[in-house]
Structure 1
Amino acid sequence: MARLVVVSNRVPIPDKSGTAPAGGLAVALQTALEARGGLWLGWSGRSCTDDAVGPLQRLKEGNIEYALTDLTERDVEEYYQGFANRVLWPICHYRLDLAEYGRREMAGYFRVNRFFASRLLPLIEPDDLIWIHDYHLIPLAAELRRQGVTNRIGFFLHIPWPAPDVFHAMPVHEALLTSMTAYDVLGFQTEHDRENFADCLSRHGLGDRLDAFRFTVGERSFTARSYPIGIETDDFAALAKRAAETALHKRMLQSLDGKQLIIGVDRLDYSKGITQRIDAFESFLTRHADSQRKVTLLQITPKSRSEVPEYEAMQRAVAEQAGRVNGALGTVDWVPIRYINRSLRRPALAGLYRMAKLALVTPLRDGMNLVAKEFVAAQNGEDPGVLLLSRFAGAAQELKEAVLVNPYDVEGTADAIARSLAMPVEERRERWTAMMTTLRTNDVFAWCDGFLDDLAAGPTPQQARPAAASASARAAETRAQTLRKSSPAPLARWS
C-alpha cells in the first residue's frame, strides 16, 4: 500500500499523551495516515524574521510523521492574512465587495506555495500518494510538477467554488485555474461546486470534458468529483449521550428553568449569517409574543482572524446587536440571547446540541457546515430537536429533511423558527431518522476512503490522452504551458 502524504495549511499535532485534537477531519486523516504509514506537513503557526526560518520540525507518533515549518512574518501577512483570507475566502463565499486585491499579497501567496513545495520535495518517495487540502495551497501541485514530481496528487477544497462570473473577477484567476489542472483528482463538497469549476474551465476553453467527471488538458487528464465531507457519526452520537450525564449539562438545564434552548454555533465570520440570524430571532419573538420568556438562543461564536479588520468590526457589531435585542426584549429574569465569544470543548458542545430543541445553522454561503451534521448526530432519537438549515450550506444538498430556509429572508426564517418549535414529535422523528441514515452512510471515513480510492486507482500522472486529441485541447494545453512557465516571472515582479 502506498504511503500517504497530507499537506495542509495547519497540522493538528497530538498532545503530550499522543492524543490528537478532537474533530472528524483530523480523526479521519490520521486514521488513513496510520493505516498506510504517512507524513503530514504544514505550517507550525509560528512566525519569525526573514532570516530565522529554521529546518522542519519533525515529530513521529505511531505510524505518522509530522513535519512543521515556520513562516516569516512577511509570509503570514501576505500569504495567509492577505491573499488567502482577504481575496480567496471572500470571493469563494461570493463577497466580491470584501475582496481586497494587492499584487504584493498575490506574490506572497505564490511564493509561500513554492516554499511549501521546496520543503516537501526532499520528503517525497516515488510511490507516495499526495493529498493537498484547501484554498491556501491551490498552486502547490503545479509547483511540485515544475520540480519534477510525477506522483499522483489530489486536492480537496473545503470551501465553495464560486460561479465563473464571480471567480473570474479575481486577478490571476487564470493562473489559479490552470494550477488546478496539475492535480490528478480534484474534490469538491457538492455537485454545484464541481459544476461551477467545470464551467470555469469551459469559459476559458481550458481542455476537454471526456464525461461527467473526467477532463483533459493536452496530454494530462484528471478527475473532478464531489466528495461531501462527513463526521464520525456514531462516535459523536455516543459522545453527546455521555455528555448528557455531566455536571455541566445539568447546570445548563437548571439555568434554563424549563425554557426551550435554541442553539447557534459558528466561527465569527461574515459568511455565517449571524447578524441575519439574530434579526430573524428578534422578528420571531416580536411576532410571537407568547414565546417570549419560553425560549433562549445560545449563540456560541469563537473569535476568528481578529488580525483582519473586517473580523474585528464584525465582532463588535454582533455583540452590539445581541445587546440591543436583550435590552429591548429581555426582562429581569429572562435574557433572550446568551452570547458566548469563545470556544467550547467538543464534549460540552455535544451535550448542548443534545439539549437544544432547535439549531439555527444559517450561513449565507458554506462549503459544507459540519455543525449541522453534529447537531443531528447528537439528538435523542425518541425526542429529537429540529435542524433549521440554510439552503446555501453544502449540507443542505444531503440533509434535505431539515427545515430549509433562505437566510436573507429574515421574516421567512422567523416563521420557520415558529414552525420548527411547534413541530409534532412524530414529524421530528421522521426527519431525524432520514438524516441519520444519510450521516451514517456518508460519514467522514467514507469521505476519506472514497477520495483516496480514486486517487490510488488512476494511472500515472503523465498518462497520455486519447490519440484523437482535439484542436481545442491542443490549444488549451499550449495556453496552460504558457501560464505555467510565465506565472512565476510576473508574480516575482510583485514581490
Structure 2
Amino acid sequence: MSRLVVVSNRIAPPDDKKASAGGLAVGVLGALKAAGGLWFGWSGEVGNEDQPLKTVSKGNITWASFNLSEQDYEHYYSQFSNAVLWPAFHYRLDLVNFQREAWEGYQRVNALLADKLLPLVEKDDVLWIHDYHLLPFASELRKRNIHNQIGFFLHIPFPTPEIFNALPPNAELLEALCDYDLLGFQTENDRLAFLDSVAAQTRLTTRENKSHTAWGKHFRTEVYPIGIEPDEIARQATGPLPPKLAQLKSELKNVKNIFSVERLDYSKGLPERFMAYETLLEKFPEHHGKIRYTQIAPTSRGEVQAYQDIRHQLENLAGRINGQYGQLGWTPLYYLNQHFDRKLLMKVFRYSDVGLVTPLRDGMNLVAKEYVAAQDPENPGVLVLSQFAGAANELTSALIVNPYDRDDVAAALHRALNMPLAERISRHAEMMDVIRDNDINHWQERFIRDLKQIAPRSEESQLQHKVATFQKLA
C-alpha cells in the first residue's frame, strides 16, 4: 500500500495542541492515519536553516520540519506569499506589493524544499501539496525526476484572469501548476477561474472527466469543498460552561447576542460589518438595549501596514458606534483584539443568537460551518453569511448577504433576530445535513481517492511513447 506524503507551509506536529486544532490538521491527519506516511513543512522557526530536518514519529505517521533563514522567510513568506499572492487571490490588487527579489526568493525556497523532500520520497508514494505558498512545488519535483502522483489543494479563492494575469509572473505560475496531476479547489468558480487564466495564456484542451492539457502537460481539476468534524464541534460546544462564561450568560439572559470571530484581515470585511451593525441600530431602534454584537479579531501579520490600518479603523468605528448608541448599562458593540481558546469559542457559538460571517472574499470559511455545528438543534441560532464565502455554495439555508451592502446586512440581522423558532430549526437542520454529508473526512478521502486513480506520470509517458511508436509503424 502506497504511503501518503503531505506538504504544507506549516505542519502540526503531535506535540503542538494549538496547531492541531485547525481544519487542515484534522483532514491531513485523517488521511495520514489511513495510509501511513509523512507530513513535511516549515517548523515556524526562523534561523539555523542549515540544521538537519527535525523528525518526530508517532504510530504510522512521521513529521519532518525545517527552519527558514531570515532572508527566505522575508522573501518567500512575508513579501511574496502574503504581500502578493494573498491580496491578489482575495481580489485586492491595490494591496499587492510585487518585488522581483521576493519572487526569486519564493522560487528559491520552493526549490530548496524540493531538495529537502527528495531523499524522503519513495517510489510508490502519493504526494498531496497544500496552498498558495507552494504553487510551483510540483514543477520543482518534476525537475528532480519525481514521477509520483502529485495533487494540489488551494484553500483560498482563485481569482479571475483579470486579477491573476495582472501578476508579473502569472504565466510561470500557471505553467508550474500544470505539473500537478490533480488540482483541487474550494468552489466551481475557483476551478473555472484557474482554467480561464490558463486559456488566456496558452492553448487549453479539455476532455471528459475534467481532464486538461496545457503546455503539453496533462492534469485534472475538481472541486473539493473542505469540511469540519461536526460531532467534535458539537461535543466541544455542549457541557458545562466555564465560570466566567456562565456568569456572562446569566447577565445577558435578556439580551440577544450577535457573534463573530476571525483573525484580523482585510479579506474578512470587518469595517463593512461594523458599519452594517451601525445601520441596524440606526434603522431598527427597537433593538436598542436588547442586543449585543461581539467581534473577536486577534491580530495577524501585525507588522504589515494594511493590517495595522484595519485595526485602527475598527477601533475608531467601535468607539463611534458605542459613543453614539450606547446607554448606561448597555454597550452595543464589544470588539476584542485578542486570541481565545477554540473550545471556548464553540461554547460561545452555541449561546449566540446570530452568527455573523461576512467576508469580502473567502475560499471556504470554516467558522460558518462551525457556528452551525455548535448550535442546539432544538433552539438554534441563525447564520448570516456572505455570498462571497465558499461556504455560501453549501449553506444555502443561511441568510445570504452582500457584505458591501450595509442595508442588506442590517436587514438580514433584523430578520435573524426576529426569526421564529420553527424556521430556525428548519434552516439549521438543512445546513447540518450538508455539513455531515461533506465533513472533513469525506473531503480528504475523496481527494486522495481521485488522485490515486490518476496514472503516475512515468507510466503515462511510457504509454504515450508506445502509442507514438505504434502509430509510426502502422
Give the TM interval when normalised to the shorter protein: over 0.9
Identify unmatched segments of 5+ residues in structure 2.
Answer: 468-474
Residue in structure 1 matched with residue 472 of structure 2 by the alignment: none
Match of 1:287 among 283, 287, 295: 283
| Divergent runs of 4+, >6 A | none
**Using a 3 Å threshold, how does the CA distance of structure 1 residues 53 and 220 change in structure 2: closer, same or farther?**
same
Name the count of aligned residue pairs.
Answer: 464
Corresponding residue SS for 1:183: coil
Alpha-carbon distance between aligned partners in 2 of 1:201 and 1:400, rounded to the nearest angstrom: 30
Q: Specify the alignment match of 1:395 in structure 2.
A: 391
Whether the 8 Å contact between 1:159 and 1:189 is mirrored in structure 2 is yes
Give the Cα separation in 2 of the matches to 1:466 and 1:409.
54
- Answering whether residue 35 of structure 2 is matched by residue 39 of structure 1, we say no
Are positions 1:2 and 2:2 aligned together? yes
1:359 paired residue among 352, 355, 359: 355
In 2, are the aligned partners of 1:42 and 1:67 still within 8 Å (CA)?
yes
Deviation at 1:111, TM superposition (A): 0.7
Q: Which residue of 1 aligns with 2:471?
A: none
- Counterparts of 1:115 and 1:332, CA distance in 2: 60
Aligned CA-pair RMSD = 1.7
For 1:460, the aligned partner's letter is P
AA partner of residue 75 (structure 1):
D
Contact kept, 8 Å, 1:284 with 1:414, in 2: the verdict is yes
Tell me by how many angstroms 1:466 deviates.
7.4
Assess if the C-alpha contact under 8 Å between 2:377 and 2:429 holds in 1: yes
Equivalent in 158, 167, 172 of residue 170 of structure 1:
167
**How far has the Cα of 1:211 moved from its partner?**
2.6
TM-aligned CA deviation for residue 109 of structure 1:
0.6
Indicate whether 1:184 and 2:145 are aligned: no
Alpha-carbon distance change, 459 to 320 in structure 1, aligned in 2, over 3 angstroms:
same
Corresponding residue SS for 1:126: coil
- Preserved CA contact (<8 Å) 2:385 2:399: yes
Task: Tell me the residue number matched to 1:62.
Answer: 59
Higher RCO (CA-CA < 8 Å; seq separation 6+): 1
Equivalent in the alignment of 1:314: 310
Tell me the secondary structure at the aligned position of residue 7 of structure 2.
Answer: strand
- TM-score of the aligned structures, taking structure 2 as reference length: 0.95
**Does 2:321 align with 1:325?**
yes
Q: Percent identity?
A: 45
- Structure 2 counterpart SS, 1:297: strand
Structure 2 counterpart of 1:78: 75
CA distance in 1, matches of 2:92, 2:23: 28
How far apart, CA to CA, are the structure 2 residues paired with 1:308 and 1:241?
Answer: 38
CA distance in 2, matches of 1:428, 1:466: 57
Residue of structure 2 in register with 1:272 after alignment:
268
Which SS does the other structure have where 1:204 is aligned? Answer: coil
Hey, what does 1:371 align to over in structure 2?
Answer: 367
Match of 1:149 among 146, 150, 155: 146
Query: What letter is aligned with 2:10?
Result: R
Distance 1:86 1:107 in 2: 14
Give secondary structure in 2 for the equivalent of 1:387.
strand
Secondary structure of 2:271 counterpart: helix
Per-residue deviation at 1:257?
Answer: 4.3
CA contact (8 A) 1:220 1:461 kept: no
CA distance in 2, matches of 1:459, 1:248: 56
**Structure 2 residue aligned with 1:438:** 434
User: 1:87 corresponds to which residue?
Assistant: 84
Q: Is the 8 A contact 1:25 1:231 kept in 2?
A: no
8 Å Cα contact 2:202/2:215 also seen in 1? no
Residue range with higher mean Cα deviation, 330-339 or 96-105? 330-339
Paired residue secondary structure (2:397): coil
* Mean CA deviation greater in 60-69 or 223-232: 60-69
Deviation for aligned residue 1:58: 1.1
Aligned-pair distance for 1:251?
Answer: 2.1
User: 1:288: how far off?
Assistant: 1.1
- The offset of 1:27, in angstroms, is 1.6
| 1:75-112, Cα deviation, whole Å (9 max, x unpaired) | 11111110101110111001011101110111111111
Long gaps (5+) in structure 1: 470-495
TM-score (norm: length of structure 1): 0.91
Indicate if the aligned counterparts of 2:227 and 2:440 stay in contact, CA closer than 8 A. Answer: yes
Taking the aligned partners of 2:336 and 2:118, their CA distance within structure 1 comes to 43
Aligned runs of 1:108-257 on 2, under 5 Å?
108-211=105-208, 213-217=210-214, 220-242=217-239, 245-257=241-253
Equivalent AA in structure 2 for residue 15 of structure 1: D
Are 1:248 and 1:348, in contact at CA under 8 Å, matched by a contact in 2? no
Alignment of 1:7-22 (within 5 A): 7-15=7-15, 21-22=20-21
